[in-house]
């Protein structure tokens, strides 16, 4: 019997998507996530000049000059100097409870698709929680010795790591560049916008998204009953149906602030733009003639942030150095998932720190890392916490092999 | 038009969730946390999805007398005639079966009905919350003050009561931003993996039935350690307590217990040292499905280590004086009860299978208040539609005792009744409107001088300030603990030939109440990521021992295929034919203590198998 | 004469042989006439030089068309994407010659082609709905066995008698006036 399971791929494929450390390691290298793991940690800090500048940067320069010259704003505004939205998700706090997923579904009129469609991977949740199991790296004995994983030797006591993933609003969004009809663009406050009425359903953007957070409405899930998704419009009138008023009641659950999408249209997390715009409008009304249009910190609460019991999600204005999200971004644990792609995501994550007791029998003395980190070490042949740990300093230390000597800390 | 926000709360079995409901176009469209409430800490998935239940097209829309739908007034008249009958007979031959809701107004009305109809019997059944005899105190945890948290089968971050508050407090101890920040540490001892176990720093996997032995082991180790100064706290009860704990630990001479215990000893030793190094900032949390002995052991340890007052507070549990459903089933069978009034619940669906509830219920005239027609609505004399909390006036208490308001966001969509109105009519009360009933309760609880202004503040804030329970130092009677420990009969260690079948409340549909909620059904389970389905989970080791290969072997390219197996418990089999039928005999059924094996119903909504079966060793999804 | 009340189109000289025609053409060329043409049933080698024809001017039209096309393409893209309605798409710059190149290229080709076609037509004084020669009775033999030379009256140097004398000096079979 086939089961509808939303995550059947559990491997990070050697990339440090979830970055974890034990607290002892964190204390020695607090910025392990950003400076010791991942290809992005190998980038030199002074990159050579790029082929082109992001429009944000070129605009900022010109706007500054104009501001200095005659104190006026340069129109059209490409990068707002009032708000730049960003979000961080603290993996130490997230338990994977799913409250944010349902809250997002409730706020944004996300349809239910039914078991058959979930089996085909078409679930519409804008926010998903990835759950990875990790276990000690190699099969220690038996015929599969040396393999990373074996069917006959499924792990008995894995560690579990969870990571909520929604659209991270990349500044250099791969989805925007490939839309043939320009249905997804960027706004001046850092949000990646989705224009539903322009989308023709090519799905190229979803194809290109490295985080796979874009959802396509295949069958008009918002309108059709789930048992007649594949029927032609002609048949719909002929099938036995529940009374219309019964289904009209179900439509009342929709949030009138958010559009209800039709089939053939791509959708994704919008940073609850309806709440952002509502807050901006309210602030402008309050400000009246004055210039105080900046929304104070903590006023905009996205649906996921609001529902999270662990307060794992922080959202706010990056330009304000005192906002909660700015402080969170300065946290040494902060890193960007798939950062080496230079997507410049606005949603970053705070790496997970586990607090094991070194005296406990299940604490592996030889390796001292959470299992995901051990697996990362194994597949990338480098130890983020070895004596070459700070990859930001010296770039010539790649590929010195899975040498166990290097795993011991402080051996040099 | 800008939406408006109103404070309300969602009553649950363990304490209300304070909410701010967003109302647009005259109806509630979103539920959010109420920032004014001091305990408010986000919402959980079930609360968020409860909005969809309001607009469920399958709700019962009109009063049903037998199978005819009648007007609301006819329903009220019917209730009035029942009330007069109750008055005449003083309740003889009547029984009330209620679900769990923490509502002061409802309790007040029930007290009134009880005194008015002394012959009627009052019962309570909740498949998830077992009644534990011998546990006299309720715990209230303050996890943000804890450096070490030890969970003995408690999924306190997930399915247990107050999971949102615990998650918030636990997370506050985990967020670090500099090398000087401290982090708490979580030890979890559990059976099937839950999100608490997933978030643990150290997790010890064992059959849920054996957690009792483990708890005794740990408790004994701590009590007998010099640094715990147990002798001074326990006084003369010290030696006896150690003796009883020792006998629980050794499984009262069960086979296999000694090897199991030997495998735990280094774990327990290291854990104990860590605990003793953090005296006063440790907390022990027993799982609600664990037997009373585990709860008592946690109370002893919390008292011993000075945790009471910092990380945990105890509150003497009010006696609710409700009888069990087992008693009700027998009185129905013997026809000493011929008229049954049910509020909520779905006992035909989820009462213990060996009660034969469906037949028992048929014997009586049933008047039922429920939100939909379901398994328990067959052959019922009257079915009254029950109001959803978003369309009713009511009140509730949050877990710490604060009085919370339940305000309607929309006029009732159908001809529904709230619990309060239903009980008020049955009690022949004068105040029938729920709003007035709540206001009366408020007057009693708040004792405010300016009633109107206090009421307005109450509705605005959604709760009554300073109405939380005051915690006092509990007065534990160690001798009674020892006598409880004497009563324990430990379960044998499960093995290949006697597997343990564990029933857990689902993280989404709980005990089956929410099977018609599409949002919850479609949510992927946090650990297995399965949506719309329910499976029997077992660990790869168990599957191998039973000779069941993984389902997608033989080069099959289909993912997520589940092998269908047949489980037989005490002669009851599940309804699915299996591909390779292996009969699995079992000596014991589940963990006992209130959760019994259920027989499986397809359910009118077309969904199968709503309770999960899990075998205790570490499980992975079946695929 | 009675034909003088109609407008004179030109003088038409008829020849028997290509050599005669060629010598006549050389004579007319040397006398600096500009609006004149020869007609023969088959192409005559060397007639271009005899007539003093230069390279066609159509190329200039092509060039101007292409030039306009290229820069208007680039300009349109620049105007739309950087000046009038800038939209950030994937962090890419608002204007780049590289991504505008296909549009500019297509417009180059298109406007160049238009330039060629229209230039050619313009230089050939097309569209021309009617040519008076076609109603001239003896002209039929231009496709048969006679060779003709026409000097148009709109030529600057045209003079009824001088031109006629010049033509007669080329010893044609006959000289006729062609009416519009």
The number of folded domains in chain C is: 2
Residues in chain B with CB shorter than 8 Å from the CB of A4 are 530-533, 560
Chain A contact for C93 (CB, 8 A cutoff): yes
Full-model pTM: 0.86
Distance from CA of B322 to the nearest CA of A (A): 33
> If 0-12 CB within 10 Å is exposed, 13-18 middle and 19+ buried, where does residue B547 land?
exposed
Nearest to B167 among A4, A97, A354 (CB): A97
CATH code of residue C44: 3.30.70
- Tell me, yes or no, whether C40 and C69 share the same domain: no
C2 touches chain A (CB under 8 A): no
Mean pLDDT of C97-105: 94
CA-nearest residue of chain A to C94? A55
Cβ atoms < 10 Å from Cβ of A235: 10
Task: Please answer yes or no on whether A55 and C88 come within 8 Å at the CB atom.
Answer: yes
Instruction: Give residue C70's domain range.
Output: 58-123
Question: Hey, of C81, C82, C89, which one would you mutate to test binding to chain A, going by the most A CBs within 10 A of its CB?
Answer: C89
Do A5 and B529 count as a contact with CB atoms less than 8 A apart? yes
Opening angle at CA B245, ends B244 and B248, nearest 5: 90
Nearest in space to A333 (alpha carbons), one of A122, A9, A37? A37
Which of B51, B267, B558 has its CB closest to that of A361? B267
DSSP count for chain B of H helices, then E strands: 19, 23
φ, ψ of residue C38 in degrees (nearest 5): -115, 150
Residue that the structure tokens 């308001």 belong to: B405
Give the list of residues 6+ apart from residue A347 with CB closer than 8 angstroms, or none. Answer: A86, A87, A88, A89, A166, A167, A168, A169
In the predicted model, is pLDDT for residue A215 greater than 50? yes
Nearest to A3 among B44, B195, B530 (CB): B530
Cα nearest neighbour of B54 on chain A: A253
Tell if the CB–CB gap between C86 and A177 is shorter than 8 Å. Answer: no
- Strands ordered across the beta sheet of C147-152: C36-39, C147-152, C8-15, C174-179
C-alpha Rg value of chain C to the nearest Å = 25
The answer, for A402 touching chain B at a CB cutoff of 8 Å, is no
**CA distance from start to end of chain C:** 15
Asked whether A328 and A120 are in contact (CB, 8 A), the reply is no
- Given this model, what pLDDT does residue A48 score? 62
Radius of gyration of chain A (CA): 24
Here the contacts of B539-543 (C-beta below 8 Å, separation 24 or greater) are B539/A156, B539/B615, B539/B616, B539/B617, B539/B618, B539/B619, B539/B620, B540/A154, B540/A156, B540/B620, B541/A156, B541/B617, B541/B618, B542/B496, B542/B499, B542/B615, B542/B617, B542/B619
Dig out the tokens for C61 from the structure.
């039209």
**Chain B interface disruption, residue of A7, A95, A371, most B CBs within 10 A:** A95
Q: Does the distance separating the beta carbons of A255 and B30 come in below 8 Å? A: yes
Q: What is the pLDDT of residue A138?
A: 61
The answer to whether the CB atoms of A174 and C94 lie below 8 A apart is no
Look up residue B307 and give its two tokens: 């945790």
Q: Strand B282-286's sheet: what is its strand order?
A: B202-205, B185-190, B148-152, B282-286
Q: Which residue of B has its CA nearest to A282?
A: B2
Q: Which residue of A has its CA nearest to B24?
A: A256
Q: Give the closest residue to B189 by CA, choosing from B279, B293, B294, B312.
A: B294
Least confidently predicted of A205-209, B444-448, B572-576, C77-81: B572-576
Assign residue A324 a region: left if phi > 0, alpha if psi is -120 to 50, beta otherwise? alpha
Burial C98-113 (b: 16+ CB within 10 A, else e): eebeebbeebbeebbe
On whether both C7 and C62 belong to a single domain, the answer is no
Cα C164 from Cα A247, distance rounded (Å)? 98
Q: Do B170 and A27 touch (CB under 8 A)?
A: no
Question: A182 and C93 in contact by Cβ < 8 A?
Answer: no
Mean pLDDT of chain A: 84
Contact (CB<8Å) B42/A308 = yes
Of C123, C145, C169, the residue that ends a domain is C123
ipTM of the complex: 0.88
Q: Which chain A residues in 160-199 lie under 8 Å from chain B, judged by CB atoms? A: 160, 162
Per CB-CB distance under 8 Å, the chain C contacts of A170 are 91
For every residue of B598-614, DSSP letters joined together read ------TTS----SEEE
Rounded CA gap, A391 and A39, in Å? 10
Enumerate the residues of chain A whose CB falls inside 8 A of the CB of residue B519: 102, 105-106, 112
- pLDDT(A325) > 60: yes
Task: Establish if A135 touches chain B: CB-CB under 8 angstroms.
Answer: no
Percentage, residues of chain B above pLDDT 70:
86
Q: Does A310 touch chain B (CB under 8 A)?
A: yes
- Could you please report the per-residue DSSP string of B9-36? EE--SS--EEEEEEEETTEEEEEEE-TT
Place of tokens 């289909």: B558
Q: Is B202's pLDDT higher than 90?
A: yes
- Asked if B402 and B21 touch (Cβ cutoff 8 Å), the reply is no
Angle between helices C160-168 and C18-30 (to 10 degrees): 140
Q: Is residue B557's pLDDT more than 80?
A: no
Distance from CA of A46 to the nearest CA of C (A): 20
Interface test with A, best of B28, B161, B174, B267 (most A CBs within 10 A): B174
**pLDDT of C175:** 92
Q: C88 and chain A: CB distance < 8 Å anywhere?
A: yes
CATH of domain B63-130+328-461: 3.40.50.740
Cα gap C139→A232, rounded to integer Å: 72
Angle at which helices B292-304 and B478-487 cross, to 10°: 150
Chains that touch C (3 or more CB pairs under 8 A): A
Lowest mean pLDDT of A82-96, A104-118, A152-166, name the range.
Answer: A152-166
Segment B589-605 shows an average pLDDT of 24
Specify the range with the lowest mean pLDDT, choosing from A136-145, A392-401, B432-441, C144-153: A392-401
Nearest-CA residue of chain A relative to C92? A54
Interval A89-110: pLDDT, tens = 999 999 999 999 999 999 999 9
Distances (CA, A) of A50 to A1, A46, A166, A208: 53, 11, 29, 22
Q: Are residues C143 and C174 in the same domain?
A: yes
Residues 6 or more apart from A165 whose CB is under 8 A from it? A127, A128, A129, A130, A211, A213, A337
Please tell me whether residue C41 adopts helix, strand or coil conformation: coil
Residues of B in contact with A353 (CB under 8 A): 176, 183
Q: Are B445 and B467 in contact (CB under 8 A)?
A: yes
pLDDT at res. B549 = 66
Contact B43 A307 (CB under 8 A): yes
Chain B residues in contact with A303 (beta carbon < 8 A): 30
Determine contact: A332 vs chain B, CB below 8 A. Answer: yes
Q: Which of C123, C148, C165 is the last residue of a domain?
A: C123
Residue B67 CA: distances (Å) to CA of A375, B97, B377, B379, B382:
63, 22, 10, 8, 9
Name the residue in chain B with its Cα closest to that of A104: B48
Second-level CATH architecture of B137-174+181-316? 3-Layer(aba) Sandwich (3.40)
Domain boundary among C79, C99, C123: C123
Whether the pLDDT of residue B416 is over 70: the answer is yes
Q: Is A308 on the interface with B (CB under 8 A)?
A: yes
Q: Are C49 and C90 in a shared domain?
A: no
Q: What is the pLDDT of residue B138?
A: 85
The predicted-structure confidence for A255-269, as pLDDT tens digits, reads as follows 999 999 989 999 999
- Which residues does B250 contact at the CB level (< 8 Å), separation at least 6? B213, B257, B258, B261
- How many cross-chain Cβ pairs, A to C, lie less than 8 Å apart? 49
- The residues pairing with A163 across neighbouring beta strands, listed in sequence order, are A130
Which chain C residue is nearest to residue A178, measuring alpha carbons? C90
Closest-CA residue of chain C to A75? C83
Gap from B190 CA to chain A (nearest CA, Å): 12
Same domain, C33 and C50: yes
> Which of A52, A182, A188 faces C89 most closely, judged by CB atoms?
A182
Contact between chains at B48 and A247 (C-beta distance less than 8 A): no
Q: How far is C142 from chain A (nearest CA, A)?
A: 60
Give the chain C residue nearest A180 (alpha carbons).
Answer: C89
CA distance A211 to A223: 28
Most B-contacting residue of A131, A151, A313, A355 (CB-CB within 10 A), to test interface: A355
pLDDT surpassing 80 at residue B255: no
Same domain, C118 and C93: yes
Residue with tokens 């790649």, as numbered in its chain: A398
pLDDT per position as a tens digit, A343-373: 889 999 999 999 999 988 888 655 578 888 8
How many residues are present in chain B? 623
- The DSSP bridge partners found for residue C12 are C150, C176
**C64 and C21 housed in the same domain:** no
A93 in contact with B at a CB cutoff of 8 Å? yes
Residues of C in contact with A182 (CB under 8 A): 87, 89
More confident residue, B614 or B198: B198
State the SS3 of B379-406.
CCCEEEEECCHHHCCEEEECCCCCEEEE
Of C87, C90, C96, the CB nearest to A173: C90
Q: Do A177 and C94 touch (CB under 8 A)?
A: no
- pLDDT of B218 > 80? The answer is yes
* C87 interfacial to chain A (CB closer than 8 Å): yes
CB atoms inside a 10 Å sphere around CB C75: 13
| pLDDT score of B228 more than 70 | yes
Residue numbers in C near A175 (CB within 8 A): 90
> What is the three-state SS of chain A?
CECCECCCCCCCCCCCCCCEEEHHHHHHCCCHHHHCCCHHHHCCCCCCCCCCCCHHHHHHHHHHHHHHHHCCCCCCCCCCCCCCEEEEEECCCCCCCCHHHHHHHHHCCCCCCCHHHHHCCCCCCCCEEEEEEECCCCCCCCCCCCCCCCHHHCCCCCEEEEEEECCCCECCCHHHHHCCCCCEEECCCCCEEECCCCCCCCCHHHHHCCCCCCEECCCCCCCCCHHHCCCCHHHHCCCCCCCHHHHHHHHCCCCCCCCCCCCCCEECCCCCHHHHHHHHHHHHHHHCCCCCCCCCCCCCCCHHHHHCCCCCEEEEECCCCCCHHHHHHHCCCEECCCHHHCCCECEEEECEEECCCCCCCCCCCCCCCCHHHHHHHHHHCCCCCCCCCCCCCCCCCCCCCCCHHHHCCCCC
Pick the range with the lowest mean pLDDT from B258-262, B323-327, B551-555, C52-56. B551-555
């Amino acid at each position: 019997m086939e089961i509808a399971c939303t995550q059947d791929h559990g491997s990070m494929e050697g990339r440090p998507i979830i970055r974890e450390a034990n607290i002892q390691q964190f204390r020695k290298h607090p910025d392990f996530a950003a400076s010791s793991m991942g290809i992005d940690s190998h980038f030199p800090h002074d990159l050579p000049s790029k082929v082109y500048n992001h429009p944000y940067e070129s605009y900022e320069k010109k706007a500054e000059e104009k501001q200095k010259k005659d104190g006026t704003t340069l129109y059209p505004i490409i990068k707002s100097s009032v708000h730049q939205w960003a979000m961080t998700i603290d993996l130490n706090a997230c338990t994977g409870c799913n409250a944010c997923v349902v809250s997002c579904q409730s706020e944004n009129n996300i349809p239910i698709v039914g078991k058959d469609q979930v089996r085909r991977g078409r679930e519409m949740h804008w926010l998903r929680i990835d759950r990875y199991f990790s276990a000690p790296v190699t099969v220690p004995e038996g015929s599969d010795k040396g393999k990373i994983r074996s069917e006959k030797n499924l792990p008995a006591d894995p560690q579990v790591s969870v990571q909520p993933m929604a659209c991270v609003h990349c500044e250099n969004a791969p989805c925007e560049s490939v839309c043939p009809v320009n249905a997804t663009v960027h706004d001046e406050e850092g949000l990646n916008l989705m224009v539903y009425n322009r989308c023709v359903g090519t799905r190229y953007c979803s194809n290109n998204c490295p985080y796979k957070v874009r959802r396509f409405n295949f069958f008009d899930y918002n309108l059709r009953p789930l048992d007649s998704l594949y029927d032609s419009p002609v048949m719909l009138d002929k099938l036995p149906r529940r009374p219309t008023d019964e289904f009209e009641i179900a439509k009342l659950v929709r949030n009138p602030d958010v559009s209800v999408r039709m089939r053939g249209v791509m959708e994704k997390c919008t940073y609850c733009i309806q709440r952002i715009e509502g807050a901006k409008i309210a602030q402008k009304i309050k400000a009246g003639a004055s210039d105080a249009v900046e929304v104070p910190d903590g006023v905009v609460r996205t649906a996921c942030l609001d529902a999270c019991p662990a307060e794992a999600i922080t959202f706010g204005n990056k330009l304000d150095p005192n906002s909660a999200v700015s402080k969170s971004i300065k946290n040494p644990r902060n890193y960007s998932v798939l950062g080496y792609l230079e997507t410049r995501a606005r949603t970053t994550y705070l790496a997970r720190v586990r607090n094991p007791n070194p005296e406990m029998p299940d604490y592996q003395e030889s390796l001292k890392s959470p299992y995901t980190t051990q697996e990362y070490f194994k597949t990338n042949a480098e130890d983020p916490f070895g004596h070459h740990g700070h990859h930001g300093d010296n770039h010539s230390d790649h590929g010195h092999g899975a040498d166990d000597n290097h795993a011991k800390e402080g051996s040099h | 038009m800008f939406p408006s926000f109103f404070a309300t709360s969602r009553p649950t079995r363990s304490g209300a969730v304070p909410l701010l409901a967003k109302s647009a176009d005259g109806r509630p469209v979103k539920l959010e946390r109420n920032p004014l409430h001091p305990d408010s800490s986000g919402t959980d998935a079930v609360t968020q999805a409860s909005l969809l239940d309001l607009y469920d097209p399958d709700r019962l829309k009109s009063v049903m007398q037998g199978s005819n739908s009648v007007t609301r007034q006819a329903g009220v008249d019917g209730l009035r005639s029942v009330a007069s009958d109750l008055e005449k007979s003083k309740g003889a031959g009547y029984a009330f079966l209620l679900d769990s809701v923490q509502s002061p107004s409802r309790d007040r009305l029930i007290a009134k009905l009880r005194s008015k109809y002394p012959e009627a019997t009052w019962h309570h059944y909740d498949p998830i919350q077992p009644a534990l005899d011998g546990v006299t105190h309720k715990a209230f945890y303050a996890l943000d003050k804890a450096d070490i948290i030890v969970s003995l089968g408690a999924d306190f971050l997930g399915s247990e009561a107050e999971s949102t508050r615990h998650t918030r407090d636990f997370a506050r101890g985990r967020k670090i931003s500099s090398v000087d920040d401290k982090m708490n540490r979580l030890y979890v001892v559990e059976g099937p993996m839950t999100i608490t176990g997933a978030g643990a720093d150290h997790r010890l996997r064992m059959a849920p039935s054996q957690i009792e032995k483990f708890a005794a082991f740990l408790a004994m180790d701590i009590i007998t350690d010099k640094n715990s100064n147990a002798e001074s706290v326990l006084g003369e009860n010290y030696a006896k307590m150690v003796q009883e704990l020792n006998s629980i630990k050794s499984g009262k001479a069960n086979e296999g217990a000694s090897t199991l215990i030997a495998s735990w000893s280094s774990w327990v030793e290291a854990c104990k040292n860590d605990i003793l190094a953090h005296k006063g900032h440790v907390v022990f949390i027993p799982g609600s499905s664990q037997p009373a002995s585990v709860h008592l052991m946690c109370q002893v340890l919390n008292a011993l280590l000075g945790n009471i007052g910092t990380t945990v507070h105890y509150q003497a549990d009010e006696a609710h004086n409700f009888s069990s459903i087992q008693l009700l089933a027998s009185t129905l069978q013997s026809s000493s009860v011929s008229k049954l009034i049910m509020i909520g619940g779905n006992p035909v669906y989820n009462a213990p299978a060996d009660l034969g509830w469906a037949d028992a219920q048929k014997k009586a005239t049933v008047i039922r208040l429920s939100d939909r027609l379901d398994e328990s609505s067959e052959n019922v004399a009257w079915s009254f539609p029950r109001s959803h909390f978003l369309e009713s006036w009511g009140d509730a208490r949050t877990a710490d005792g604060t009085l919370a308001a339940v305000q309607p966001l929309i006029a009732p969509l159908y001809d529904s009744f709230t619990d309060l109105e239903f009980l008020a009519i049955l009690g022949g009360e004068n105040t029938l409107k729920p709003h007035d009933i709540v206001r009366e309760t408020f007057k009693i609880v708040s004792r405010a001088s300016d009633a109107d202004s206090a009421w307005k503040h109450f509705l605005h804030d959604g709760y009554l300030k300073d109405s939380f329970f005051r915690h006092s130092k509990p007065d534990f009677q160690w001798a009674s603990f020892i006598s409880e420990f004497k009563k324990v009969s430990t379960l044998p260690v499960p093995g290949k030939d006697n597997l343990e079948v564990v029933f857990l409340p689902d993280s989404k549909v709980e005990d089956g109440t929410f099977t018609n909620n599409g949002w919850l059904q479609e949510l992927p389970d946090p650990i297995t990521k399965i949506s719309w389905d329910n499976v029997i989970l077992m660990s790869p080791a168990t599957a191998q021992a039973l000779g069941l290969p993984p389902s997608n072997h033989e080069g099959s390219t289909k993912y997520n295929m589940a092998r269908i197996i047949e489980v037989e418990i005490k002669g009851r089999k599940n309804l699915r034919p299996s591909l390779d039928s292996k009969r699995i005999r079992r000596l014991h059924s589940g963990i006992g203590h209130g959760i019994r094996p259920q027989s499986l119903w397809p359910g009118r909504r077309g969904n199968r198998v709503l309770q999960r079966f899990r075998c205790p060793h570490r499980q992975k999804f079946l695929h | 004469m009675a034909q003088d009340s109609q407008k004179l189109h030109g003088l038409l000289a008829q020849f028997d042989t290509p050599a005669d025609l060629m010598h006549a053409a050389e004579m007319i060329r040397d006398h600096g006439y500009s609006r004149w043409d020869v007609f023969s049933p088959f192409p005559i080698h060397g007639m271009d030089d005899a007539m003093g024809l230069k390279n066609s001017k159509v190329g200039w039209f092509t060039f101007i068309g292409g030039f306009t096309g290229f820069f208007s393409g680039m300009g349109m893209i620049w105007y739309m994407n950087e000046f009038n309605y800038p939209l950030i798409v994937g962090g890419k710059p608002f204007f780049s010659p590289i991504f505008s190149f296909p549009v500019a290229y297509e417009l180059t080709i298109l406007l160049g082609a238009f330039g060629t076609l229209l230039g050619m037509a313009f230089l050939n004084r097309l569209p021309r709905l009617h040519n008076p020669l076609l109603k001239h009775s003896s002209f039929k033999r231009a496709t048969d066995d006679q060779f003709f030379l026409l000097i148009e009256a709109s030529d600057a140097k045209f003079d009824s008698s001088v031109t006629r004398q010049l033509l007669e000096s080329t010893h044609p079979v006959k000289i006729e006036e062609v009416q519009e």
